[in-house]
Structure 1
Amino acid sequence: MSSSSASNFAIEALNPDGFLVLRPEAPDDFLCEYANPAAQTLLGHGLENALFLSTRRAWLGLRAAWGMTLDTGLRSEQWIHWDTGSGVHTLRVRAARAPEGRLYVWLTEQPQEHRAPPPGPDPRRDEASSRYATALFQAVMQGSTDAIYTKNLEGQYTRINAAGAQLMGRTVEEVVGRTDAELWPAEARASVAHDREVMAFRRTLTYEEAQSGQPGRVWLSTKGVLQDEQGRVFGLFGISRDITERKRLEQSLRAASVTLFDLRMPEGLLRWGPGAAELLGHPSLPSEEPLTALLARLHPEDRMTVAARLTSSTRTPVKLALDFRVVGARGEVRSLTLWGEAHADDAREQRIIGVLVDLTWRTLAPPSGVAA
């Protein structure tokens, strides 16, 4: 998995349970696209970009259950026992169907008190494991380009990585020990409210948080609680990504009467970017909707042509330019053009990704390389 794709699972990098992203691979196997550090500690390194079941005989019994999960969408749960030479390990294995035909798998090791004890204590091995876990955690913290941090119950930062401090325009020493009210007085109220909500519901939640100043920034922050072995909350963790440029792009697209779209086939699911509702002449639109909903808004004379072009273009990679008319909520007719590129990655899923532009009052040249 690319580094950009792996960043989508940044929160799983801190998960004490193992986490895998598996893609079906013929014959009857799965290719591991992502494994978090906990999974690599449990199962060993070299998991990513390798076949999973064929190298683990004890896991072959999961093939049917995982296939059923992919076919039906029902979650599955099994227990795996295997001997590593230092004792028998037991894992609780939970699987769920993920987007794009993949499988998310969580691995939880059975508590030590429920397993047969090893032949004798080995303090050196325990100490080495502790050092390895600490080093692994530090590597995740410092290797991330996102801000990763923890806070105590008083809202003081107890830890932050260097990238996070730099994104804030401060040093690590200037952040640790301080609260948001001390660091960002103007924005602290919203951030503190988010922290309290996470603490109250004990859930992992995601927010957009704005920071004023020069330059102003917008963060996409995911926050969750920190708990001890007795389940008592002693703080929270956060992972914040700077999405300032993305927000500026969204604002520019709105001003230019342009929106992004992502059409996935064969399910016919259309995902809109910001500004789609205004461009199509409707008060609001869902972020995702079936392709048939768009076709219903088209001018009757254009509907069949557009439907045929969109459904046929996803079967082979091709650049696409398509002009058509839509009827707005008040009956007004708008002229639009669609510029996109079709991708046929595999037999299961194809998609068209591109832009939709309002040409009612003006004429634009298509992007370079796009032909009708």
Structure 2
Amino acid sequence: MTYTRPIGVLGMGTYLPSTVRTNAEVAAGAGVTPEWISERTGVRERHVAAPGEAASDLAAHAVRSAVRAAGLDMADIGLLICGTSTPDELGPATACRIQTLTGADRAVALDVSAACSGWLFAAKVAHDWLRTAEEGTRYAVAVGVEAYSRFLDPADRGTAVLFADGAAAAVLGPVAEPGGFAQFSLGSDGALADRVLIPAGGSRRPASAATLAGRDHFIRMDGRAIGRFITDVFPRLITDALDRAGLDLADVDCVVAHQPNPVLLRRIGADLGIPDDRLVVVGDEVGNIGAASTPYALARAVDTRPLKPGDRILLAAFGAGMTWGSALLTWSGAPAVAADPAAGLRSVPSADRTTGRSTSQGAAR
């Protein structure tokens, strides 16, 4: 069976750990000033997972919120895909951990590994799976999550000032015309794989006394090379997506992109002619949360703009690998939901947002 209705977003949820690391705290370890961080990156603060809190724990909160926002039960979810580059362990899939934590017992659970592009890659897999519906699956969850703080060298100013922890999830399912996803385009260039990576801990360089002594289990990034890559690929993603759809920038209501560096993102957006009120920038308040960045930005747009049924959203993601992707999403709206009283949350429209500290309709934390 193949659904003739398009596949879109039915509900979203996000989760940020309660502990906040300020620029002053990060600057002390990285040998820079808080002003240096603000001026170079635009990041003001970032959230950090608690001891014993893994990527699956963060993701489970976001998944529960997204399913609740969609007005569904966990038993309705037939597919659960997790995009992450900081899994609980090398195996099994972190999605299997999330499945158990959320009680999504009927879901096929799997991971995709595309770094900061991971959620968009997951959404593409879920979209195509639901369109063919070979397993009779009607609803899917795509979640992006990172626990980067576990892999940061506090003395490395190139990574410690940017990366943070968080999760964001979307429930995908059939929506009415003209809503839903269209014009997916994904890409990768493995020749650039060493530009940002965690060098040790895999099958090429298993953990050893030497890798620990060399601090090779921390994220390493060639900041200048990554900056050049983003400056090149982000404009191409935008222009190519518009060309494929036969649209102009004026036809797009909202641009939601990965959040690598708010200063850089705003600069490129201005160069492209994207109006400030159409480019979603949230990295200043959460840092770079990798595969969770793009869905987190989308969830914030749902609540703060807010997005209206029929609004066109241009999604653009890029990350280590190197990987990249874009898609157009026509927003179809999502129902309000009464949050689980046991979670200490109140009702919010369409995107259910939580942190370890509080939930509010007007702020992300």
Mark yes or no: TM-score above 0.5: no
TM-score tier after normalising by the smaller chain length:
under 0.3
Higher RCO by CA contacts (8 Å cutoff, separation 6 or greater): 2
Larger radius of gyration: 1
Q: Relative to total residues, which structure has the larger strand share, 1 or 2?
A: 1
> What TM-score do you get using the length of structure 1 for normalisation?
0.24
